Each structure stands twice: as C-alpha cells, then as structure tokens.
Copies of this chain bind each other. A is one copy, B any other.
C-alpha cells in the first residue's frame, strides 16, 4: 500500500487534506490511492444537506457538529460549491463560521469546487466521501446548494438526504428542482419563527402527500420539522429523525451498504466510465490541437460537424473512420 493511503487510513489530517485537494484538482494519481482506500470504506454514515442559498445550511451544519461531537462521534464535512455558470451562493464565505471547529481533531471540513474541465463534480465528491470514510469518520455531511443535476446526483450518495427551506419562500419550494424534492428523506423548515412557516409546512405536506403511493407498505415517509438553527432549537430532534431514518435503512432491505446495491453501483459506474472516457479523449484531442482544427474546418465551411465528430472519435477508439462502426446503435 502507498504511504498516502496508509496515512489516510491512520487519520493523518494533512494527508487527507492534500488528497481531497488533489481529487478536486483532478489529478490522475489519486485513482491508484482511491483503489487502495476502497476496502476501508463503507463504515461512515453519509448525510446530505441541500437547499437554496440563504436558508441557513451552514448554521445548521455548525449546530449538528456540536451535537455529534458531544456524542463523541467524529465528522467530516464536504461543502460542495459547483462552479457551474448557473450556480449561486457564497458558500466559501459561510465556511468561515464553521472554522470554529477547526481546532477540533474530530471534525474535518473541506469545500469542493472541482476545477476539472469536463464536469465530474459528482464523481469527485463521491471520491472525497470515500476518503473521509476510509479515514474513519463516523459521520460525513455533504452540504450542497440545491441547484442543478450534479447536485441531485451528489445527494443520491447520502444515506439520509435533508432538504432545508425557510418560510416565505413558498415560491422556492416549487423552485427546488423536482428531482431533488424526490430524494428528500427529511424536510427542515429553518428560521421557523418567521411568518408563513405554517403555510410552508402545509405546502410541503401537500407535495409529499401527492406521492402517497410511495409510502405504502411501511416505506419511509419524510417528516417535516421546524427548526431555528441559529438558536439550536429543534436541532436535537432533527438528529433524532436522522437516527430513525438510519434505523429504518438498517431494518429494511435497503440497508446501510446501499452504495453496493446493484442499481446504485450500476449508476455510479456508468457515470464514472462516461467521465473517464470524455476526459481521456477530449483532453487528448484538445492537447494535440486536433479538436481546434476540426472546429476551424466547420467554421470555414469545409467540413460538416457529423464528419468532424467521426474523424475525432473513431480513431480514438481504434476504429478507422472510413469503415463501419461496430457496436453502435445510436446516433
């Protein structure tokens, strides 16, 4: 085993910090280390926290850390800040607040931004979860702004997914991506002293009840809790709900090892293969200038994009661009 992997498993904070940064930067060396760490994963409980900017996710996480630490459990926090052009929020600013835990060896907090060219935020967050898991953290909290497909995928990596809203954002309940709402295991109304919290509660209740059939036969029905994270009001009860959901997962066929369940493995591997393919080939085509030359030819009207695509992709796959394409059934 490499010394990096050994250090991570031994809980060496500097080694972990550096490895996560390398993951975020998309360094290819990390793959071999992740392979070595994988057998040590599968023990941490992963909690996903998502919601629009300004709903108080960081304050909430801050309070969660206090409670979890009092219980003598260790925690890793990943704050996912997508650099997508459509993202909002100033996650990095909020991070400062959480730094009051920075002297506590039982807490490890990192932001993920992912500067890779060709996507891969979901992938790198999953890898970072693996690192914190191998490091021995009892809980891993993944905090994301609830925007975009990437983040829907990120929260799917959590055992318990928590969706945070605030009152008076009746609008924004609808604005939460449909895909994210469906993944919610617990709903939190933060800043619950504000006007409109009952309305928000009934709106959420309505939306959850619309999916009634989903909860038949003892399936988990997402509870909705009111909290005031800033005063620590309701946070303990919130953690109890997480524990209930954890028990539910253990007792039902879902289990805690759900990341090794077939359909999840299938999804994650599909995505991993996609990213890897795109990165390997597109990076290479970009470096050699082949891609730019193809773009030039199209712009100058010398080549159609369909032929350009053939010329780029087929040689990369070892197929001569003239001949028939094997194994292809899709445009």
Scoring A residues 267 to 297 as 1 if CB is less than 8 Å from chain B, else 0, what string do you get? 0111011111111111111010001001100
A331 CB contacts on chain B under 8 angstroms = 23, 26-28, 30-31, 116, 120, 123-124, 127, 275, 279
Are A305 and B178 touching (Cβ within 8 A)?
Answer: no
Is A38's CB within 8 Å of the partner chain B?
yes
A307 CB contacts on chain B under 8 angstroms = 35
In the assembly, what is the distance between CA of A276 and CA of B313, in Å? Answer: 7
Are B316 and A262 touching (Cβ within 8 A)?
Answer: no
A265 CB contacts on chain B under 8 angstroms = 295, 298-299, 305
Is A214's CB within 8 Å of the partner chain B?
no
Per assembly, the copies of the chain total 2
Interface size bracket, A side:
35 or more
Contact flag A277-B283 (CB < 8 Å), given A261-B299, A269-B295, A331-B31: no
Is A175's CB within 8 Å of the partner chain B?
yes
Question: In residues 235-284 of chain A, which contact B (Cβ within 8 Å)?
Answer: 260-262, 265-266, 268-270, 272-284
The chain A residues found within 8 Å of chain B, CB to CB, are: 23, 26-28, 30-31, 34-35, 38-39, 85-86, 88, 116-118, 120, 123-124, 127, 147-149, 170-172, 174-175, 177-179, 182, 260-262, 265-266, 268-270, 272-285, 287, 291, 294-295, 298-299, 301, 304-310, 312-313, 316-319, 325-331
In the assembly, what is the distance between CA of A184 and CA of B35, in Å? Answer: 46
A39 CB contacts on chain B under 8 angstroms = 304
A325 CB contacts on chain B under 8 angstroms = 28, 280
**B117, B175, B328: which contacts A171 (Cβ < 8 A)?**
B175
Task: Indicate the member of A34, A295, A307 with the most B CB atoms within 10 Å.
Answer: A295
Are B273 and A312 touching (Cβ within 8 A)?
Answer: yes
Contact flag A330-B116 (CB < 8 Å), given A262-B299, A305-B265: yes
**Chain B residue at minimal CB-CB distance from A181:** B86
Are B116 and A295 touching (Cβ within 8 A)?
Answer: no
In the assembly, what is the distance between CA of A285 and CA of B270, in Å? Answer: 10
Min distance, Cβ A204 to any Cβ of chain B, angstroms: 14
Min distance, Cβ A295 to any Cβ of chain B, angstroms: 5
A294 CB contacts on chain B under 8 angstroms = 269
Min distance, Cβ A202 to any Cβ of chain B, angstroms: 15
Are B86 and A305 touching (Cβ within 8 A)?
Answer: no
Are B175 and A305 touching (Cβ within 8 A)?
Answer: no
In the assembly, what is the distance between CA of A120 and CA of B325, in Å? Answer: 18
Are B316 and A260 touching (Cβ within 8 A)?
Answer: no
What 9 A-B pairs come out closest when comparing CB atoms?
A: A284-B327, A38-B304, A26-B330, A279-B330, A171-B171, A272-B309, A86-B179, A318-B318, A175-B175
Min distance, Cβ A78 to any Cβ of chain B, angstroms: 15
